[in-house]
Structure 1
Amino acid sequence: MQEEAEASQVFTPEMIDKIARIWTRSIITLIDIRFQNVTSQYPLEQYKMPSSMFIYTYGGEAQIQLNETTFGMERFGLVHGGKGSLLSISPKGEIVKTFLVFYKAESPLFFKKYLQLLLEQVNPFVQQFGYTPSNPILLLDWFQQMMNGWNRGKAMDKLQAKSFLYQLIHRVYRDFESGEIRYLQPDPACSTKIYLDKHYREPIMFQEIADMFGISGGQLTRLFKKKEGMSLQEYLIQRRIEAACHELKHTEATIREIATGSGFADEKNLFRMFKKYYKMTPSDYRKINALSMQVDGIDNDYHFLYNEGELAGLVKTYREGESTMFGQVRSKEMILAATISLMLLLSACGSGTATNNGGTVNPIPAQTQQTKQPEVLETRTISTVKGDVEVPNNPQRVIVDYLIGDVVALGVTPLGVARVARGEKEAVFANQITNSTKIAMEPEDVMALDPDLIILAWGDENYEDLSKIAPTIYVPYGDMTTEERIHFIGDVLNKQEEAKAVLNTYVEKIEEAKLAFQNAGLSDVTVTMGEFSDKNNYIAGSKHAVGELVYNELQMKAPSKVQTDIIDADKYWAEISMEVLAAYMGDYLISLGDTEVPTDNAVWQSVPAVQQNRIVTVDNSLSWSTDIITSSALIDYIVNQLLALAK
């Protein structure tokens, strides 16, 4: 089946390899194993899964639903879902037999960063799928033995149960690898369409939908566009516009009420979408459709001839989802021209004219419109590395990527934020963005928030797509000093005075830190920073966020080997083996990240800074970003720690 073929594309060989690596390096805890007879009289309904789960059903036909996804099972079915998923099982006959295996996955400290990178691409522990196993009888035997061992309760029996779990996992992905399996559920695109049809009036985050299937937002977008011929956002807007059109035709609700009720962020958003797709305002659309119904009611002698088309079908799709009024059929143009002519007469407006010979219709003067339209924002032009960009004078709905602290420092609370911090700990400005929506910087998710300004600072691969959504400013932060960057973002946000004040405070903090180092006798000491472990040591240079601060702004000195091999070589950092590590060690060490430094290694213990306990540990919440709020907090932390160690 086509649906099955498309669904199987989710599990590519590359993805299966990544999934295998994640399972291999993760800590898996078997939490519980249960067996349950589910009857048609007492189906399992909306059970909130307390952990990740494998569900194996057999013995009859049933529908298994995980969140918005429904799996149709005939005789055997294996389903997987993540923690928090809502599980329902409804037998079509009298009964189905069900095994439930609950487990928890954690990242070991040693592989934490490696796994984090993989989990950003695919997360098998929340991945949602259902299929008929290639050898269902073998799996049934494994599930039975797994439950028997678990119920006996002895340590060796539970160990055996866990070994069966690993065999099960291996078999599942071998089945996916073979590509010769029958999926129980259409691919994620089908489920997403069902979800959007049901929830289009609500705020939608496409990444949250993608998370249901354990895939990236970009992959979900590609699958959806291949199947439906349009992007997720285009489909969502289409559903919302359809709802708005129905309300405009058949109710007396205000434009604002219709916008909110149809899922648009506000009246301005509905206005903009109508101008884009219909080339008219919602009020004009309401007038035209009201008058068209009057025209349809006139005696047939007064009708223009046309080819059985209807006035409601005046929208024609072209290019990438855009729409235009006026189809190619001349009779439709005549009907529309007559309708607008009648509308102009009724509104006592003599300045607009219409033609019925293929010509265009002049826009209706603003003073004749009954509904006040949103004001056009005044704009300014900002020169960027991507060219001149026209931005709002007073942006209200700002989305920021990475340099969130810079925007917050200038007195602007972002509507949406991406890449807030790395690791489990919160960013230092977390309390100031509690009302901001955390998103992936994917065009679909950005568009859903309807921004009026986007500040992009991590990479420009999405720049072209984002710039089609709203004015987009690319900040090449790695090529700018803190002063240059804050002045630039201040210009973008029209916060020039705030930028000056923020920089003055920052410069004062830098000078106070230098003076404190001088008074403590630390002006000439050397400092090495990096991530240290028993096997791999990464020494940072001045291009690293913390290195920029310590070496360039605080002007602390690096050991000669760090200076020549890393800083002068313009490297972000370099991997240094344990055998030559001592040559790169300074008088003080700054350990970056949440990993613990080695304790039992002889080479490590021979380093003077280690022997004298001159190590400052900086967690990810302070070492991840170069924004000015995080940098200010990092200065305070490093200064206080070094001064304490110097005593």
Structure 2
Amino acid sequence: MQEEAEARQVFTPEMIDTMARIWTRSIITLIDVRFQNVASQYPLEQYKMPCSMLIYACGGEAQIQLNETTFGMERFGLVHGGKGSLLSISPKGEPVKAFMVFYKAELPLFFKKYLQQLLEQVNPFVQQFGYTPSNPILLLDWFQLMLKGWNRGNAMDQLQAKSFLYQLIHGVYRDFEGGEIRYLQPDPACSAKIYLDKHYREPIMFQEIADTFGISGGQLTRLFKKKEGMSLQEYLIRRRIEAACHDLKHTEATIKEIATGSGFADEKNLFRMFKKYYKMTPSDYRKINALSMQVDGIDNDSHIHYNERELASLVKSYRDGESAMFGQARSKEMILAAAMSLMLLLSACTSGTPANNGGTVNPTPAQTQQTTQPEVSEAVSQTRTISTVFGDVEVPNNPQRIVVDYLVGDVVALGVTPLGVSRAARTTETEAVFAKQITDSIKIAMEPEDVMTLEPDLIILAWGDEKYEDLSKIAPTIYVPYGDMTTEERIHFIGDVLNKQEEAKAVLNAYAKKIEEAKLSLQNAGLSDMTITMGEFSDKNNSVAGDKHAVGELVYNQLQMKAPPKVQTDIIEANKYWGDISMEVLAAYVGDYLISLGDNEVPADNAVWKSLPAVEHNRIVTVGSSLSWSTDIMTSSALIDHIVNQLITLAK
């Protein structure tokens, strides 16, 4: 019932409220207002939208198409699409009047972070929808007045035209809120299937498909699976495998060319899929089909000689699809066996197989021991779907070759030793708290060509999301937005990714216990009411940290220690990561104790610095970069011990 409700009405009250908030805070520029009569003999075809657009069509019956989505309109229809969408209007009889409003939306700096968080939930500027307005005549008047005002060209009239744009959007959302409207919305699952059938050879981001309907990747996946009986990933890999099978049988292209042409990231991915699901290489598949086609061909221009015992001079395929003639005699029994193999393979090729959109899962020992062709349901059970900020990702149930770039301590804490770790994550330093656990891990630069050499089956990325698309072509890639997650949310999320849910609970329980014990120790030492200032200090510049900093979040939010009033008002309440404070006014920001972050030398000879009470009484805790740089749970746990022990020692 939930999926049916989602198909009938995409926009929930929560989504409508979020969209209204985004429109209220965003900078909207009205770019143009146009009108066009569209006749059936001269339809508007594949017009690429230069920006976000509202299209209001009225008159006769027509079809309005945005990209691969077709909306059926009887007399009135309002359609919205984002920049780059392809618009077509095809009247079925009498001409259609089409009003087009072009606009651009930008995020103001003041609300940028807030709006970016909302846009991760729903983006009203790229949404694709169509419906019949509840009051089509009123909207027609608004569009006509907007067109007239815009065409007059003076500032006041164009300002009025922009005000009508806001009235239109308000009217649309009121219609959505009332619910008594007829959506011109097709089945998202059907449109997604059309898109995959057309673009399966290209890199696919499922979230981008979902965005065109204004729904989440999870919603689209549920709707698609209910209708098609398989996930989007399964369907995509099926189309790519079918294309590869066809090219292996009917072309002389190399394996590398076929892999690229079928939509796989590279030939390694194609090899892995064939080895996993067909228990053979693409070259072996080509050989068997070459033999079978020689037997089954009935109307060839040239015929293979028959020497009264068997077929001679069969074509032998080897390496990457090259061909050579060989004269070894094959028995009829051998040829029939090849034909039988072909029948089994064809049945496998037409069945659904799960996708990995860039990576594969190494078969388990149980899979390796199988001698029969695996059923689709068995293959699907080897992967799970994880919802991420970049859409749903199919990950292996039991990943063996994991590459991690930044949150190495989180992965290690869950009992997993990564195959590869990023050099940039300070994992090579002997003082790193997880250094002993990763002595056998390979240190690499997180560049796609370096990651590819490890042949991972899972990549966990938390730094440099611009690399996500390239890395996701190598293996399933999970992006962890650690800055937007609490420690508890992050560990549960990574635990789900690694299928280590129970381990995640145990780790978090131990961490919560450590926090409570640390708070009790500070209280017993008389430090609960002391104020703490932390930052990087020098003669030239002082950067005081707020609770957005990794150490600040731990000290102020988790250990619940107090910040000096100026730090609280000027940095924490101002939602700043750092506050740059000159030496002359630093005293107002310094509390009872100082935590010096990083490896810089504190300004010991500076007169102002020496006059600070915390400095004068030697109440300074030094936290090196190996502890202050990372936010993973192992480093945070070690940091708690370090800070609490140092504070208690100084208090004595």
- Classify the TM-score, shorter chain: 0.5 to 0.7
1:387 counterpart (415, 430, 455): 415
Mapped partners of 1:85, 1:38: distance in 2: 19
- Does the 8 Å CA contact 1:126/1:211 hold for their aligned counterparts? yes
1:88-142 C-alpha deviation (Å, 9 max, x unpaired): 3233335221101122333344433322211111010111111222222222122
Which letter maps to 1:545? A
- Does the 8 Å CA contact 1:3/1:187 hold for their aligned counterparts? no
Structure 2 gaps of 5+ residues are 298-309, 312-331, 356-369, 374-399, 430-442, 449-458, 483-489, 512-534, 590-623, 631-652
Question: Following superposition of structure 1 onto structure 2, how do residues 421-570 of structure 1 map, counting pairs within 5 Å?
Answer: 436-438=467-469, 448-451=472-475, 458=482, 459-463=490-494, 466-467=497-498, 517=538, 528-530=544-546, 540=547, 544-545=549-550, 547=552, 566=556, 570=559
Displacement of 1:226 after TM fit? 3.2
Mapped partners of 1:85, 1:380: distance in 2: 37
Q: In structure 2, what is the equivalent of residue 336 of structure 1? A: none
1:204-260 C-alpha deviation (Å, 9 max, x unpaired): 222333343444434433333333222222111110001111122223333222212
- Does the 8 Å CA contact 1:417/1:437 hold for their aligned counterparts? no
1:469-491 C-alpha deviation (Å, 9 max, x unpaired): xxxx9xx99x99xxxxxxxxxxx
Which letter maps to 1:386? L
Which letter maps to 1:451? A
The range that moved more, 215-224 or 110-119, is: 215-224
**Residues 11 and 83 of structure 1, relative CA distance in 2, 3 Å threshold:** same
Q: In structure 1, what is the equivalent of residue 363 of structure 2? A: none
Whether 1:55 aligns to 2:55 is yes
**Residues 84 and 256 of structure 1, relative CA distance in 2, 3 Å threshold:** closer
Mapped partners of 1:30, 1:453: distance in 2: 38
Give the % identical residues.
64
Mapped partners of 2:269, 2:222: distance in 1: 25
Structure 1 gaps of 5+ residues are 323-357, 362-377, 421-429, 440-445, 481-512, 531-539, 553-562, 598-605, 611-625, 633-647
Displacement of 1:462 after TM fit? 4.9
SS of the equivalent of 1:413 reads coil
**Residues 13 and 406 of structure 1, relative CA distance in 2, 3 Å threshold:** farther
Mapped partners of 2:402, 2:42: distance in 1: 64
Mapped partners of 2:551, 2:211: distance in 1: 33
SS of the equivalent of 1:249 reads helix
1:414-464 C-alpha deviation (Å, 9 max, x unpaired): 3389665xxxxxxxxx8xx97x3458xxxxxx7x52328878683245546
State TM-score, norm by structure 1. 0.57
Q: In structure 2, what is the equivalent of residue 315 of structure 1? A: 348
Mapped partners of 2:541, 2:625: distance in 1: 29
Q: In structure 1, what is the equivalent of residue 25 of structure 2? A: 25
Question: Following superposition of structure 1 onto structure 2, how do residues 371-410 of structure 1 map, counting pairs within 5 Å?
Answer: 384-389=412-417, 392=419
Which letter maps to 1:286? R
Q: In structure 2, what is the equivalent of residue 286 of structure 1? A: 286
Q: In structure 2, what is the equivalent of residue 338 of structure 1? A: none
Mapped partners of 2:13, 2:174: distance in 1: 10
State TM-score, norm by structure 2. 0.56
Q: In structure 2, what is the equivalent of residue 258 of structure 1? A: 258
**Residues 316 and 44 of structure 1, relative CA distance in 2, 3 Å threshold:** closer
Which letter maps to 2:475? P
Q: In structure 1, what is the equivalent of residue 135 of structure 2? A: 135
1:63-95 C-alpha deviation (Å, 9 max, x unpaired): 323233333323221111122333232333352
- Does the 8 Å CA contact 1:123/1:215 hold for their aligned counterparts? no
1:461-515 C-alpha deviation (Å, 9 max, x unpaired): 55467558xxxx9xx99x99xxxxxxxxxxxxxxxxxxxxxxxxxxxxxxxx98x
Displacement of 1:183 after TM fit? 2.8
Aligned length: 452
Question: Following superposition of structure 1 onto structure 2, how do residues 570-609 of structure 1 map, counting pairs within 5 Å?
Answer: 570-571=559-560, 581-582=565-566, 584=568, 593=576
1:575-613 C-alpha deviation (Å, 9 max, x unpaired): x9xxx9448479x9997659999xxxxxxxx99869xxx
Displacement of 1:58 after TM fit? 1.2
SS of the equivalent of 1:314 reads helix
Mapped partners of 2:279, 2:566: distance in 1: 69
**Residues 609 and 456 of structure 1, relative CA distance in 2, 3 Å threshold:** same
Q: In structure 2, what is the equivalent of residue 233 of structure 1? A: 233
Name the Cα RMSD after superposition.
Answer: 5.2
